[in-house]
Every structure is written in C-alpha cells, then in structure tokens.
A and B are shown apart, each in its own frame.
Chain A
Amino acid sequence: MTSPRARFSLLGGYYFGLVALLYLPIAILFLFSLNSGTLLSFPLRGFTLDWYTKLFAADAVLRAARNSLVVATGSSFAATVLGAMVALLTTRYEFRAKNLLLALAVLPLIVPFIVLGVALLLLFNVFHIERSLWTVGIAHTVVALPYTVLIVTARLAGFDAHLEEAAMDLGADYLTTIRRVIFPIIFPALVSAWLTAFTVSFDEFALALFLAGTTPTFPVYLFSQLRFANRLPIMIALAVLLMLGTLTLVILAERIRRIE
C-alpha cells in the first residue's frame, strides 16, 4: 500500500507535470519575445529587448489590451451575479419552470459562437444599437453564464437550507439572509465562477470580431496585426507581459493571504 507521502508526490507530480505542459508554449513565446528575428520559427536570431520597449510606445496595442480588460471585468461580474441568481433559484425554490430555466442558462454552451455573433449582430441591428465594447460585453456575459451557473449550483446544492431557515426564524428577511448566510458560504465558488467568466471573456475572439465595432479587444487586434511579420513580436511581448503581470498579482495575493 502506498504511503501518504508517495501518494502525494504522485498526484503532486501529475499536477505539476500538467502545469509544466500548460506553460510550455508560454515559455516558447517568452523565448521568441526576446528573439531579434520576426518569424516564429527556429533558429533564434539574436537577443533583444526591443520588442518590450517598442511595446510601450504602441498606443493601439495598449488600448486593445485595456479594452479586453474592461470587457472581461464587466462581463465576468455580470455573469457571476446573474449565475448566482439562477443557482439560488434552482437550488432553493420549487417551481414548474425550474428545469427550463436551468436549460436556458446552460444553452449558450451549445450555440457556436459564430452563430451567436451573427444572431446578436442582427438583433442589435434591429434595435439600432451601435457595436461597441458594450455589445461585446453583453455577448460575453451570455456565454460565460453556463459556467458560473454550474459552478455556483454545484456549491449551493451541497449544503441544505437549514442555516437559512434558522436565520429567517430569527427574524432576518431574505435579502439579509442571502447577504449574511448564503453569500459567505458560497464565496469560494463565486470567486471560482468569476475567474472562469473572466478567462472566457479575456481571450474570446469570434464574438468580439463580430461585435466590437471600432474598438478592438486584444485578440481581435492581434488577429489584425498578424499580417505584419514585424508586428508579431510586439504582440508576443504584450501577451507575455500580461501573463507575467497576472502571475505576479496572484502570487502577491497568496502572500497577503498567508500573512493574514
């Protein structure tokens, strides 16, 4: 029988092996962001930090990155809130259309983004709504919703309602109960859902291409710059920087949490 230590290293090894595999392409990208050649192929031509310095002069690139951040933050927030609402409804209430609501919330998973993009384009056209970051954000909220619903529902379903009933017996109205009883308990799931929704939105391309109008998000901008071989390294430098930035933030957050 394997000792707990051996089991840990097996599982841990599996996990870290997977992480290594996931970060391998990023390591390659990092390598090429320092490469003086512009083609994405070996052999490497020479070392340079040019791409990073040029990046900060590239207004359009930074603007596109900021657009992506704005859209991702807004849509992930909306998707988490709406998803939590649906999760509450399906786990704490009984009503006839319950299954229908759940199915509706999960429906975006089935719809290819191309179809949803064109369909939303038509809809916005009917209402004469100009394409903008808002239209992209709306689409992203829709497609992130299945994930937030599933994650929060999984958590909510796991603990029964007696805590809430106790709170209400003590005189709290439902809104207070949500705030002080349910919310703290599902908080980890909410963070998880928010992270997922953010991830879904940040790199989303198909919908953004259709619905962004004149303000491109980063993936759309990247796509538009791919034609220029000499612009590619700057885009890679930005992608690497963004990732390093989030990595740093996350590690910092962990440090702070450990201090508490």
Chain B
Amino acid sequence: MLDRRSAFWLLLFPPLLWLGLFLLAPLALMAAFSFRADLSGELLQAWTPTLAQYARLAAVGSYWRLLGVSAGVALVVAVSATALAFPVAYFLAFRAGARAGLYLTLLLIPFWTSYLLRVMALKLMLGSNGVVNSFLLYLGVIHEPIALLLYNRFAVVLTLIYVWIPFAALPILAALQRIDLALFEAAADLGAPPPAQFWRVTAPLSLPGLFAAFFMVFIPTVGEYVTPLLVGGSQGMLYGNIVQDFFTKAANWPFGAALSMIMLVGTLALAALALRVVDLRQLLQ
C-alpha cells in the first residue's frame, strides 16, 4: 500500500536522476571547460583553472552587443508569436469543439517534415527570384525584387515567429481549456455582453498560459542559431551562431564553453527577474 508520502520519493527519484545525470553533469563539465586554457593534451586530464577565456570574452565588445541583440530578437519573436498564437488557441478551445484534437495535430504535423527542407522551400518563395517576388513583379506592384525578405535579421525574425506560433498555442490552449464554462454562464447571468465576458473572464484566466508561452518561446530563442544560418545571411547572425562556430569550426571548446556560460547565466538571471515580477506558481494555482 503506497501512501502519498512514499509516492513522493517514487515520483522524485527518476526525473531527478535523469536530470542530474544527463543535464547537470554535462553542464558542470562544460562549465569546468570554460576555465581551461586550451584544448591541447588529454581531454579529461585535470587542468589548472584559468580565467583566460573570460578575460578574452570581456575584451571583445561585439560579443556582448550581439548577446543583447539576440535577447532583443527573442523578445520580439516571443511577444509576436504569443500574440499571434492566442487566436489559434482560442479557436481550438472554444470554436473547434470535438475536432480540437484533430486541428491541433494538424498544426503540428508540418514539424514532422524536415525543417531543413521546409526552409529550403521557404527560401524558394522569398528569394529575389522567388515566387513572391516574381508574382509581385508580374502584377506590377513592385519594379525591383524586394531583397528584404531573405538573408537578413528581418527574415530571421519572420521565420522564427512562423515556426513558433503552433508551439506557443499549446500552453495557451491548456490554460483556456481549464476555464470552467460555468463562469461564462455566470457572467452572462450577471448581464455581461460577450466582449466583457472575454475581457473579464477569458483574458485574465488565460494569463498563465500567455506567460508560459512567452517564456517557452523567449528562452530558447536567445541561443537560436539554426534559423540565422539558413535565412539570416551575413547580417542576421545571432549569439548562438558564434557559440556554434567555436565548437564546430574553431575546435575551441573552452572559449565556446565560456560564451555559453555567459549566455546561460544571463538568461537565467533574466528569467529569475521576470519570475519575481510574475509569480508563476501563483498564476498556476
């Protein structure tokens, strides 16, 4: 007979073990690497810790600036994706009825097709000789192809928003589905018209979902590097690309590790600050 107390340990042990072994341990190794002078010698022998990598980092102003830019891009993407995802979640929660599950899955299926191939197809549409430009030129709306759509930061932001909307809809949907429909009846009984019902019942209760969606999009986007590689061109590079370069092009893991640690600490600090302002647990209650 398993009571609640003993169940606690049964529930705690597997995730804790998994995360400790496969998340914390590797990250600790990475952090240790950031205090290593270079990659020479046996990879796992002990080394004398040095702050050399961080000193180098501090000396290059453009890395810090790029981190700020990446955070800014992440902010824009997260706000836009969350805002654009809200109507989707609303539709699924209140208008799709029994078909909600089907419609949700419909949204996610494109993500089981290779992202690489889909973006290649997207580039076909957005390039200066692509479908969109050819069409607009044909219509006479423009006289020269618009270069704005591809190979710059704007293209990165657009593509990221495009990709994130279905995922951002998920937590919002979860929050909306929790709303007790009786609340709407009660509001209607009290004389509230539908718009007021929305602003006074739906919107406030959807806030936890909105915040969850925002964080879910914002945090990984700060370190995003795949999309800038595909559509960013030379001007659309983000911080994550620099990190990736040091691991895969420069074989300079210590410096790459230092860059990653800075980004991790920075994002953690941002998240902690935001959570202080918005107590997530309270919202989830």
A residues whose Cβ falls under 8 Å from a Cβ of B: 1, 8, 11-12, 14-15, 18-19, 21-26, 28-29, 32, 40-42, 81-83, 85-86, 88-91, 93, 95, 99, 101, 104-112, 114-116, 118-120, 122-123, 125-126, 138-139, 141-142, 145-147, 150-151, 153-155, 157-159, 168, 173-175, 178, 188-189, 191-192, 195-196, 198-199, 202-203, 205-206, 218-219, 222-223, 226, 235-236, 239-240, 242-243, 246-247, 250-251, 254, 257-258
Contact = CB atoms under 8 A, between A and B. Distances in A.
A231 to B, nearest CB: 13
B285 A110 contact: no
Interface of B: 1-4, 6-8, 11-12, 14-16, 18-19, 22-27, 29-30, 33, 43-44, 87-88, 90-92, 95-96, 98-99, 101-122, 124-125, 131, 162, 165-167, 170-171, 173-175, 177-178, 193-195, 208-209, 212, 215-216, 219-220, 222-223, 225-226, 240, 243-244, 247-248, 253, 256-257, 260, 263-264, 267-268, 271, 281, 284-285
Given A22-B107, A168-B4, A154 B19 contact: no
Contacts of B18: 82, 141-142
A125 B124 CA distance: 41
Given A123-B26, A199-B108, A239-B114, A110 B267 contact: yes
A89 B23 contact: no
18 contacts: A1-B195, A11-B91, A19-B106, A26-B113, A42-B124, A42-B131, A110-B263, A110-B267, A110-B268, A114-B248, A178-B7, A188-B177, A192-B104, A199-B111, A202-B111, A219-B114, A242-B113, A254-B102
B121 A89 contact: no
Nearest to B263: A112
A110 B113 contact: no
Contacts of B29: 119, 122-123, 126
A112 B171 contact: no
Given A112-B263, A157-B284, A174-B4, A222 B117 contact: yes
Contacts of A141: 18, 22
Contact of A40 (B113, B124, B264): B124
Contacts of B209: 154
A8 B18 CA distance: 45
Given A11-B95, A110-B268, A195-B108, A119 B125 contact: no
Contacts of B240: 112, 114
Nearest to A218: B114
A108 B96 CA distance: 33
B182 to A, nearest CB: 14
A246 B102 contact: no
Given A19-B107, A119-B29, 10 more contacts: A25-B125, A26-B118, A28-B121, A110-B271, A114-B247, A122-B44, A146-B216, A150-B171, A174-B2, A199-B112
Given A1-B193, A85-B11, A120 B114 contact: no
Contacts of B243: 112, 114-115
Nearest to A152: B174
A24 B125 contact: yes
Contacts, number: 270
Contacts of A18: 88, 107, 165
A15 B103 CA distance: 9
Contacts of B285: 157
Given A157-B285, A205-B226, A120 B44 contact: no
B23 A202 contact: no
Contacts of B125: 24-25, 28
Contacts of A258: 98
Of B33, B109, B271, most A-chain CB atoms within 10 Å: B109
A159 B103 CA distance: 25
Given A123-B29, A203-B113, A243-B113, A40 B120 contact: yes
Contacts of A199: 108, 111-112
B241 to A, nearest CB: 10
B94 to A, nearest CB: 8
B107 A142 contact: no
What are the 3 tightest A-B residue pairs by CB atom distance, in nearest-first order? A158-B178, A119-B26, A154-B174
B248 A93 contact: no
Contacts of A178: 7
A24 B113 CA distance: 12
A154 B8 contact: no
Contacts of A1: 193-195
Contacts of A24: 125
A206 B223 CA distance: 13
Nearest to B245: A114
Of B29, B96, B253, most A-chain CB atoms within 10 Å: B29
A199 B110 CA distance: 9
B171 A120 contact: no
A189 B190 CA distance: 32
Contacts of A226: 116
A233 to B, nearest CB: 11
